[in-house]
Chain A
Amino acid sequence: MAGAGTWAGPWTAGPVGLPGALVCVRTVMDSNHHSNYKLTKTEKKFLRKQIKARHTLLRHEGVETVSYATQSLVVANGGLGNGVGRSQLLPALEKCGLVDSLLMPPNKPYSFVRYKTAEEARKAYVTLNGKEIVGDLGQKIILYLNFVEKAQWKELGLQALPPGLMVVEEIISSEDEKMLLESVNWAEDIDDQNVQKSLKHRRVKHFGYEFHYENNNVDKDKPLPGGLPDIWDSILEKWLKEGFIKHKPDQLTVNQYEPGHGIPAHIDTHSAFEDEIVSLSLGSEIVMDFKHPDGVTVPVMLPRRSLLVMTGESRYLWTHGITPRKFDTVQASKGHKGGIITSDVGDLTLSKRGIRTSFTFRKVRQTPCNCSYPLVCDSQTKQTSPSLPGSAREASQLEREHVHRVYEEIAGHFSSTRHTPWPRVVDFLKALPSGSLVADVGCGNGKYLGINQDLYMIGCDRSRSLADICGERRFQALVGDALAVPLRSGSCDACLSIAVIHHLATAERRVAALRELVRLLRPGGTALIYVWAMEQEYNKKKSKYLRENRVSQGKEQETDSDAAAVPVSLGGQVPDVGDQDAPCCVPAIPDCPGEGGNTSDVTDARLPVHTNRTSFHAQDLLVPWHHKGSPGKDKPVGAAGSAPGAVFHRYYHVFREGELEAACQTLSGVHLLQSYYDQGNWCVVLQKV
């Protein structure tokens, strides 16, 4: 450390380029350390941690800190995401001055505080930096503070309850609650046909019909003796009379959740139960997450003694689940009222969970389901639901249905969400010599065709509509298949294959596509290949695809590997899409196979339908695309003029680490020049020998 010397002033950088923050701390500490300018070990350690916090905030969250005093601070390590509640943090902050606002974004390990004056903020910075506080579970937490220009968190769009959802509060009195909870006999009984099993996460009991978790259905031919317990007769009659329910249920499932228990996101099997599903929460409140296939998540507070009514879309299309955790993020001002939890981070706090017992009443269906949500309906997709192809013919058919046809229909909308070129692809193109002939196989809307004016680029895409868009943009493009590119062998100086090969349904076809690229190259030519990775979290960092779980309505969405909309950032790239939604982490709901939910049968070769913006659980799957229609375009959107609101399933084979490399290694006459991971994609650069 630079030795004794002069500090020019409070805000200049130190001799080794240490941030101004150091100087600020030193200025205060100076008075206690007379003329000793050497930092102690603890001071150095603290400093390292503070700098690390600052870097993490910038790199991972886009939070830019400044080295001069402002009214606002970011409190790293003091957030709802790492177990610090409002009631723990606020008093500590208020000791330093008048707090204008405290913003605690849900699931984040940091918060923002704004003081009335910069002076008070500075006091907080000095006093609280490195200070130890106690978290929600009694754990010791050290806070690191840094100044920020503005304490703000982009507000999410106004949320609405999923259609068909209703929360009826205080539907049961406290006395009745006690009585009903006591009526459940959890004691193990071998003869008890009400089959009480202890699932990994919770205790369960069934009445009326037994629910089988292996196939998420009931056995309609084997009703349980005794039906529903008598104690519920009068209550159900009352609910019917008062209009809270429309049908008398004949199946009851009782679930007991202790703090830390949850249930994976699922849709109750369409063919098993009628439309109306109601659930009574006793003993404790809970937050239940409803998720739309789009990726939109709505957290809903279910207060104690409330009845949750799910009908229509909320029953058939949205999944519901409970995150296994001990605390829920709830609305501070609304206390225990039912309904959506606000996204206003100035009004969030933590609520410790208690033991909650849910009583879910359903009416068993006797006929196949005929709802309006066929894509998620087991009755309606049984015949048509695609499975992994066993032959080239089947593969070709799958690709035709779930790749080519889809892109034809969604071309306009798709193109409008594909405008940000991936930086490393741009680098590759810009490094090519002037006058190079480059083929972009699977060029889509021509995103890369105009990047480098010194190249002669030809785009090739299977979709007529997308190739047309390239033409409109005055690019050279043709309609062709990646397995048989209509260009001369050895004619290209370079090739691109960005987010294409993962649409081919067998390993053979994927390798064949790679071979085509090599065929096109002249000796010494290079090809850049990007495919969607199964591993969406790499080196502990989540890809943009996972991070951007925008709770938006009606906004543009980039829902696959090409997504490049940037999260809220004070110093990073300019957000491309132009919408103001902030990223928020989806609380991870661990996969618990066989425990209720819509997980597909392991023995079933049917392709699972993926939930957007979550981790991949299978390599071959169907990824939904919610068609929104193309804003501002005159031409009809699809060949068939498909309606906005339709859901399309695109087939993908996501690659595991090393898989793309291995495929390349089966090719002869190529060198593998580079292999890397880029924002949720596995990437290689090949060179023809």
Chain B
Amino acid sequence: SINPMEFNPDFLACMIPEVEWALLLEAADTLHLVEVPKGLTEGYEHNEKFLREMHQVLLEVEVLEGTLKCSESRGLFPISWGIPNMPLSDEE
């Protein structure tokens, strides 16, 4: 689902450098999202379109039901009502 959130470019400007692009793109792909920037471009801080697209993918898009897959352990963690369930299992 897409939940509208207040657009705050300054806040985004702090978050964007931290983004792991490969993972973001992979997730976006799984969700069949379009309009997702492929990476940082020069002067991104002032690029309104870029910022708005990032705003949407980072803050507004929300997975309500789904699964998170751990690339290392192959563990599957369900997401329900937007909350991922990732407790320690009994064996750990």
B-chain residues with CB within 8 Å of residue A471 when the two chains form the complex:
81-83
Q: Please state if B10 and A435 are interface contacts (CB–CB under 8 Å).
A: yes
> What CA separation (Å) do A483 and B88 show in the bound complex?
8
Q: Please state if B88 and A478 are interface contacts (CB–CB under 8 Å).
A: no
Known: A434-B11, A435-B10, A437-B18. A486 touches B3 (CB 8 A): no
Residue of B nearest to A455 (CB): B11
Stretch at the interface among A144-152, A233-241, A462-470, A643-651: A462-470
Residue of A nearest to B11 (CB): A435
Residue of A nearest to B92 (CB): A484
| B interface footprint on A57-76 (CB within 8 Å = 1, 0 otherwise) | 00000000000000000000
| B interface footprint on A424-467 (CB within 8 Å = 1, 0 otherwise) | 00000000011111000000000000000010100000101001
Q: Please state if A478 and B86 are interface contacts (CB–CB under 8 Å).
A: yes
B-chain residues with CB within 8 Å of residue A480 when the two chains form the complex:
86-87
B-chain residues with CB within 8 Å of residue A454 when the two chains form the complex:
8, 11
B-chain residues with CB within 8 Å of residue A464 when the two chains form the complex:
83, 85
Residue of B nearest to A454 (CB): B11
**B15 adjacent to chain A (CB < 8 Å):** yes
**A195 adjacent to chain B (CB < 8 Å):** no
**A477 adjacent to chain B (CB < 8 Å):** yes
> What CA separation (Å) do A456 and B18 show in the bound complex?
12
Residue of B nearest to A477 (CB): B83
Residue of B nearest to A393 (CB): B90
Known: A474-B3, A484-B92. A435 touches B85 (CB 8 A): no
Listed residue (B15, B77, B87) with the most chain A CB atoms within 10 angstroms of its CB: B87
**B14 adjacent to chain A (CB < 8 Å):** yes
**B13 adjacent to chain A (CB < 8 Å):** yes
> What CA separation (Å) do A543 and B83 show in the bound complex?
35
> What CA separation (Å) do A456 and B16 show in the bound complex?
12
B-chain residues with CB within 8 Å of residue A433 when the two chains form the complex:
14
From residue B69, how far is it (CB to closest CB) to chain A in Å? 12
A-chain residues with CB within 8 Å of residue B3 when the two chains form the complex:
474
Listed residue (A435, A470, A477, A491) with the most chain B CB atoms within 10 angstroms of its CB: A435
> What CA separation (Å) do A467 and B83 show in the bound complex?
7
Interfacial residues of chain B within 26-54, with CB under 8 A of chain A in the complex? none
Measured as residues with beta carbon below 8 angstroms from the partner, the interface class of chain A is 20 to 34
Main secondary structure on chain A at its contact with chain B? mixed
A-chain residues with CB within 8 Å of residue B88 when the two chains form the complex:
481, 483-484
From residue A109, how far is it (CB to closest CB) to chain B in Å? 51
Neighbour of B14 across the interface among A435, A468, A484, CB < 8 A: A435
Q: Please state if B15 and A456 are interface contacts (CB–CB under 8 Å).
A: yes
From residue A508, how far is it (CB to closest CB) to chain B in Å? 15
> What CA separation (Å) do A454 and B10 show in the bound complex?
9
Residue of A nearest to B84 (CB): A478
A-chain residues with CB within 8 Å of residue B87 when the two chains form the complex:
462, 479-481
Neighbour of A478 across the interface among B12, B13, B15, B85, CB < 8 A: B85
| B interface footprint on A474-513 (CB within 8 Å = 1, 0 otherwise) | 1001111101101000010000000000000000000000
> What CA separation (Å) do A462 and B13 show in the bound complex?
32
From residue A432, how far is it (CB to closest CB) to chain B in Å? 11
> What CA separation (Å) do A491 and B17 show in the bound complex?
12
Listed residue (B77, B83, B85) with the most chain A CB atoms within 10 angstroms of its CB: B83
Residue of A nearest to B16 (CB): A435
> What CA separation (Å) do A472 and B22 show in the bound complex?
30
B-chain residues with CB within 8 Å of residue A484 when the two chains form the complex:
88, 92
> What CA separation (Å) do A437 and B81 show in the bound complex?
22
Q: Please state if B83 and A435 are interface contacts (CB–CB under 8 Å).
A: no
> What CA separation (Å) do A155 and B3 show in the bound complex?
47
Q: Please state if A479 and B86 are interface contacts (CB–CB under 8 Å).
A: yes
Residue of A nearest to B58 (CB): A456
B-chain residues with CB within 8 Å of residue A491 when the two chains form the complex:
18
Interfacial residues of chain B within 55-70, with CB under 8 A of chain A in the complex? none
> What CA separation (Å) do A484 and B8 show in the bound complex?
32
Neighbour of B15 across the interface among A435, A467, A474, A479, CB < 8 A: A435
> What CA separation (Å) do A424 and B80 show in the bound complex?
33
Q: Please state if B15 and A486 are interface contacts (CB–CB under 8 Å).
A: no
A-chain residues with CB within 8 Å of residue B8 when the two chains form the complex:
454
> What CA separation (Å) do A436 and B84 show in the bound complex?
22
From residue B76, how far is it (CB to closest CB) to chain A in Å? 13
> What CA separation (Å) do A468 and B80 show in the bound complex?
9
From residue A134, how far is it (CB to closest CB) to chain B in Å? 66
Neighbour of A479 across the interface among B11, B12, B18, B84, CB < 8 A: B84
> What CA separation (Å) do A479 and B14 show in the bound complex?
26
Residue of B nearest to A482 (CB): B88
Q: Please state if A434 and B14 are interface contacts (CB–CB under 8 Å).
A: yes
From residue A7, how far is it (CB to closest CB) to chain B in Å? 55
B-chain residues with CB within 8 Å of residue A474 when the two chains form the complex:
3
B-chain residues with CB within 8 Å of residue A456 when the two chains form the complex:
11, 15
Residue of B nearest to A433 (CB): B14
A-chain residues with CB within 8 Å of residue B82 when the two chains form the complex:
471
B-chain residues with CB within 8 Å of residue A477 when the two chains form the complex:
83
From residue A19, how far is it (CB to closest CB) to chain B in Å? 47
Q: Please state if B86 and A436 are interface contacts (CB–CB under 8 Å).
A: no
From residue A12, how far is it (CB to closest CB) to chain B in Å? 49
| Chain A residues engaging chain B, CB cutoff 8 angstroms | 433-437, 454, 456, 462, 464, 467-468, 470-471, 474, 477-481, 483-484, 486, 491
What are 17 residue pairs bridging A and B, where the CB atoms are less than 8 Å apart in the complex? Answer: A433-B14, A434-B11, A434-B14, A435-B10, A435-B13, A437-B18, A454-B11, A456-B11, A462-B87, A464-B85, A470-B83, A471-B82, A471-B83, A474-B3, A477-B83, A481-B87, A486-B77
| Chain B residues engaging chain A, CB cutoff 8 angstroms | 3, 8, 10-15, 18, 77, 81-88, 92
The 7 closest A-B pairs by CB, nearest first: A435-B14, A486-B86, A481-B88, A478-B84, A479-B85, A480-B86, A471-B83
**Could you list 18 further interchain pairs (A-B, Cβ under 8 angstroms) beyond the known A456-B15, A468-B83, A480-B87?**
A434-B10, A435-B11, A437-B18, A454-B8, A464-B85, A470-B83, A471-B82, A471-B83, A474-B3, A479-B83, A479-B84, A479-B85, A479-B87, A480-B86, A481-B87, A483-B88, A484-B88, A491-B18
